[in-house]
Structure 1
Amino acid sequence: MWIQGTKPSGRAPHILRETLSRRLGRRLTLADLGLEDGPTGTTDSSSDWSVDPLTGLAELGSDYLDMHRRKLLATTAYSAAGLALPVAPWWAAAPAHAASRPALSSRLVTQTDIDDIRNLTAFYSARDQRRGGASGRTALAGHLRDEAVPLLGSRFRTERHRRDTYSAVAEMAYLTGWMAFDACEHRTAQRSLTLAARIAAEAGDGPLGGHILRALAHQAVDLGHPRRALDLATASMSQIHYGQASSREKALLAIVHARALAANGDRPGTLAAISRAERDLARVDTKDAPGRVGFFQEASLAHETACALRDLGKPRDAEIHFQRSVATRRQQQYARTHSVTLGYLGAVQVQQGHLDEACGTWGQALDAMVGIQSGRARDVIVRMRSDLSPVRQRGGHHVAELDRRAREMLRAVG
C-alpha cells in the first residue's frame, strides 16, 4: 500500500499494475493508475528488451491518444543508445517465453479476430502510401490499443493460433511506428518499432522481425546514425530473418542494407548489396510475398538505390535511378513516396548545377504533395527552399514562384 498523495517507489508500481491487470482482465498502464506524470517514453523503457512488450504497447497507445502526453513525448529525443539489440539466445527463447505468459482474460481468440487485425493493418497501410503517415495514425493507435493488444492477453486454441495472433499485432504495431516515422515523430516511431520487433520475435516470425529491423535501420540512416543503422541492417540480413523471407522481402532488406553501408562509406559493400537486391527482386513470384511488401517493386528499388548512390557521392548515377523510380511508379497508389522521390531528384539535379531542371522537378513534387500529410514530404520542401536560397534573388520569376508555392505547401503537409 501507499499513502495518499505519494507514489510507491521501485518495483511496487509495476507489481501493482500487473496484479490489477490480471484481476480486471485487461492490460493497465501506470497512467491508468495515476502513477505516471509524463509519457512513459521519458524512461526509455522500450529500449530494455526485458520489459513486457504487452505493457509497453498499452502504455504507448495511451501516450499516443492523450494529446498532453503526446506533446510531451514529442519533446523526448530519439535514442541511438536504445537501438542496441539483444543477444542471439534472447531471440531463440522469445516464443517459449510468450507461450508461458499467463492469460489476462478468458476470451478465446478466433480466426476472425486475427483477420480483423490484418485487414485493418492493410487498410491503414494503403492509406499511408496514398496520404502519408501524419494522416490516420491516431486512429490506428486507437485500434492497436483497444483491439489488438487485448488479444495478446487472451487464450489461444493452439500454439499456431497464438503465433498468428502475435504476428498480426506485431505488424499493426510496426505500421503505427512507420507512420510515426513518416510524420517525423521519431521517438514515438522508435518505441513502436522496437516493441513490434519484440512481439514479432515472440511470434517466432523471422521475416517480419527482419522487416521491422529494416525499418529501424532506415530511420537510423535518415537521422544520421550510420553505425547503429548498419548494426540493425546487418541483423536483418541474418538467416533467421533474411534467410526465411520471400524474394520480394529479401530485396527490401538487402537494399536497406546497401543504404546503411553507403552511410558508412563502404562503396564495394554498397554496390554488392545493390546487386543482391536486384537479383532478389528478379526472382519474385507474384504469389511470393506477404502483403506488407507488396509496395516494394521496381520503383521502390530504384528509389532506395538512388539514395545509396547519392550518399556515396555519385549524384549523376543517383539521378538516373531517381528518374527510373519516377517513371515506373504507380503515382496515385503511392503518392507520398512519389512526391518524396521527385524532391530527392530535384536535389541531386541542383547539386550538379542544373537549376532549371531542378525547378521543373520540384514543381512536379509540389503538385504530387497535394493532399499529402507527411513529415518526410515536409522535410523535402524545407530542403528545397534551402537549396533555392542562394539563387532566390537572381533566379528570376520561376524561382520566386516555386518558392511561394513551397511556402504555401509547408502549411498543408503536416
Structure 2
Amino acid sequence: MLGRPGSALFATRTPRPDEATLYQVGNADGSPGRAGVDSADLSFAEAMDAFRRADRRLGAAQVYPHVLRYLRSDVAPVLFDACEADAQSAFRAAVVLTDMAGWMAHDLGRDDLAGAHFAKALAFARSVPDATLSANVLAAMSHLALEGDRPGEAADLAASALTMLDTKERPPALSARLLAMRARALARGRDRAGAYGAMAEARRELGRTQAGPPPWWVAPFDEGALAGETALMLRDLRLFGAADLEAQRAVRLRDRQPGRGHAFGTIRLARILVDRREPERASAVGSDILDSCLTIGSVRITRDLTGLARSLDSYRDLRVVAEFRDGVARVNRQRGRLLRPLLPAVAPAGPRP
C-alpha cells in the first residue's frame, strides 16, 4: 500500500505520453528519490511530489479528486492500523496532503472548503511533535485570511506560527513565507514601516543557509514567490511603480515554469499596470498568457482573468484593450467547455482527526 509509484496515484486513467513527466516523482532537478526523507516517509513524500507537480501544470480540477482518494485509500488506514513509526509517518502525510487539498479547494473557488481542510490539517499537525508541520499549515491559513480580506487574522496566524519555530533550526523557506504573509497583512493596515521591516526580514531569512535539506513537508517558497508577495504588499501600499518592478521580477523568475503560477504572476503584473494607468501595456501583458491558460483547471484563473478584463472597462475604446477583452471572453468560454466535466463535486473528505 505504501510503495505505489507516483503514476499509480492517478489510476483512473493512463497518462498520455506528453503528460507522463507530470506524474514522475523525485527531486526538483529530475534525479530519483528525495533528499532528507526517512524511509518510513518516502512513499508519502513521493506522493506529495507527484500531486504537487501535476497540480502546478494541470490545476486543481484535475488533481483534487486524486488527493482525496489517496487520503482515504492510503493514508487513513495507516493512521489507525499501524506500528507507531508508520502511524507518525501517516499523521505527517495526513497533515501535508490535507493542507494540499485545502490549497486545491481554494484554487477551485471554494474558500469555505479550503478553510475546513486547513483546520483539519492543523488538528492532525498537533498530533505530531515537529512544530514545522503546524507552522506550515498556519502559513496557508494566513494566506487564506488575506484572500478573504481579514488582515488582522492573517497577521495573528503568521505571528503565532513564527513563535513555534526554533530560532536556529527553522527552515528558511517557511519562516520567510510567514514573514511575507505578516508583511502583506501589515500593508493592508497601512503600516508601511512594519510591512517594509517584515518583508526585509523575509528576504534575509530566505537568503539564510541551513545545514541539510528542509523537512519534506515544508511548502516551497523561493525568490520568485517572494517577489510576487512583495509586489502585492507594495500594491496595497499604493506604491505602484515599485510594485511593477517586483511583479516583473516575479514573472521573469517563473518564465521557465509554465503553468498556474506563471499565469497568476502575469495577471498580477497586468493588474498593477492598470493601477498605473497603463491599459495598453496591461492588455499586451495579459494577452501573452491567454492561450496557455486554456487547459489549466483553476477557477481562480477564470475569475482573475475576468476581473482583469473588467478593470479595463473604462479603456474599452482602445483597440488593444478591446482585443484583449474579447480574447478573455473567448478563452473563458473555451475554458468552461473544457473544464466543466473535470470540476469535481467538492465535498469534505479524507481521514478525520
Which TM-score tier does this pair reach, normalised by the shorter chain?
A: 0.7 to 0.9
Q: Verify the 8 A CA contact 2:227 2:246 in the aligned structure 1.
A: yes
* Aligned residue among 304, 317, 331 for 1:409: 331
Residue aligning to 2:322: 400
Which has the larger Rg? 1
Q: Verify the 8 A CA contact 1:338 1:368 in the aligned structure 2.
A: no
Residue aligning to 1:365: 289
* Aligned residue among 288, 308, 327 for 1:384: 308
Kindly provide the CA deviation profile for residues 28-47 of structure 1, in whole angstroms up to 9, marking residues without a partner as x.
xxxxxxxxxxxxxxxxxxxx
Q: Verify the 8 A CA contact 1:309 1:315 in the aligned structure 2.
A: yes
Q: CA deviation at 1:292?
A: 4.6
Is 1:146 aligned to residue 69 of structure 2? no
CA distance in 2, matches of 1:232, 1:297: 21
In structure 2, runs of 5+ residues without a counterpart are: 1-37, 340-353
Kindly provide the CA deviation profile for residues 344-370 of structure 1, in whole angstroms up to 9, marking residues without a partner as x.
111111111111111111112324423
Q: Verify the 8 A CA contact 2:284 2:324 in the aligned structure 1.
A: no
Q: CA deviation at 1:171?
A: 0.5
Q: CA deviation at 1:297?
A: 1.4
Q: Verify the 8 A CA contact 1:210 1:241 in the aligned structure 2.
A: no
Residue aligning to 2:18: none
Letter in 1 for 2:323: E
Residue aligning to 1:271: 196
CA distance in 2, matches of 1:298, 1:259: 16
CA distance in 1, matches of 2:217, 2:326: 37
Are the structure 2 counterparts of residues 322 and 177 from structure 1 closer, same or farther at C-alpha, using a change threshold of 3 Å? same
Are the structure 2 counterparts of residues 319 and 291 from structure 1 closer, same or farther at C-alpha, using a change threshold of 3 Å? farther
CA distance in 2, matches of 1:328, 1:292: 23
Residue aligning to 2:31: none
| Partner SS for 1:340 | helix
Are the structure 2 counterparts of residues 350 and 388 from structure 1 closer, same or farther at C-alpha, using a change threshold of 3 Å? same
Residue aligning to 2:142: 217
| Partner SS for 1:365 | coil
Q: Verify the 8 A CA contact 2:57 2:260 in the aligned structure 1.
A: yes
Kindly provide the CA deviation profile for residues 231-282 of structure 1, in whole angstroms up to 9, marking residues without a partner as x.
2122121134777531122211211121122222221111111011100111
Q: CA deviation at 1:290?
A: 3.2
Residue aligning to 1:13: none
Scaled by the length of structure 1, the TM-score of the pair is 0.68
Residue aligning to 2:48: 121
Are the structure 2 counterparts of residues 216 and 241 from structure 1 closer, same or farther at C-alpha, using a change threshold of 3 Å? farther
CA distance in 1, matches of 2:260, 2:55: 8
* Aligned residue among 168, 180, 184 for 2:109: 184
| Partner SS for 1:136 | helix
Q: CA deviation at 1:163?
A: 2.7
Letter in 2 for 1:288: P
Q: Verify the 8 A CA contact 2:171 2:214 in the aligned structure 1.
A: yes
| Partner SS for 1:134 | helix
Scaled by the length of structure 2, the TM-score of the pair is 0.79
| Partner SS for 2:289 | helix
* Aligned residue among 49, 64, 72 for 1:137: 64
Q: Verify the 8 A CA contact 2:45 2:216 in the aligned structure 1.
A: no
Kindly provide the CA deviation profile for residues 356-388 of structure 1, in whole angstroms up to 9, marking residues without a partner as x.
111111112324423211122122112111112
Alignment of 1:6-25 (within 5 A): none
CA distance in 2, matches of 1:402, 1:286: 48
Q: Verify the 8 A CA contact 2:279 2:315 in the aligned structure 1.
A: no
Q: CA deviation at 1:117?
A: 2.5
Letter in 2 for 1:169: A
Residue aligning to 1:238: 163
Q: Verify the 8 A CA contact 1:166 1:203 in the aligned structure 2.
A: yes
Kindly provide the CA deviation profile for residues 123-146 of structure 1, in whole angstroms up to 9, marking residues without a partner as x.
111112222222210111111122
Q: Verify the 8 A CA contact 1:130 1:372 in the aligned structure 2.
A: yes
Q: Verify the 8 A CA contact 1:299 1:328 in the aligned structure 2.
A: yes
Residue aligning to 1:155: 82
Q: CA deviation at 1:406?
A: 0.4
Q: CA deviation at 1:114?
A: 4.0
Q: CA deviation at 1:204?
A: 1.7
In structure 1, runs of 5+ residues without a counterpart are: 1-110
Residue aligning to 2:274: 350
